[in-house]
Structure 1
Amino acid sequence: MDAVLAARPPTSSFEAPRGAEERARRSAEQADVVVEEVGRYNPDAVVCVGVPFGHTRPQWVLPHGGVMTVDGVERRVWAEFG
């Protein structure tokens, strides 16, 4: 595994609205956990946290069968579907 992408976490909902500071704190906590856990298994993997795919808004739809490229040096993620 060369890279791991973790979607932007849902940090608020209609049932439990939170302020900007609380949402930022919760996002940072999740990012820390993802980086720590991936590092335990593959310390050389590129970890990209907060990509807007999954069940968040705005949402980047990732159809099955495409190729994703993660460039850790340039800090870029892109997908190709053809």
Structure 2
Amino acid sequence: MIRRLFYMALGAYLATWVQRRLRALKPDHVARRAADQVRGFAADVRDQAWSRETELRVRYGLDSVSTTQLPPNVRDGR
């Protein structure tokens, strides 16, 4: 009796586990996860680029457009 109950519980657990694994492999779920990872990567790249740009602006004294004597037809790029 106890053995049957154990194997029934084990079977229910394994069935649930397999269903969750199969659900995670659906194309829309995989695509959503990939898109989230790409968004996260893009955000990290933007943060690093902003940090490096700020570092270079401080290093070369380019704090604002008014301190750099740009010709009137050249934009700052920010």
Shorter chain as denominator, the TM-score bin is 0.3 to 0.5
TM-score by length of 1: 0.32
Higher strand share: 1
- Normalising by structure 2, we get a TM-score of 0.33
Higher helix share: 2
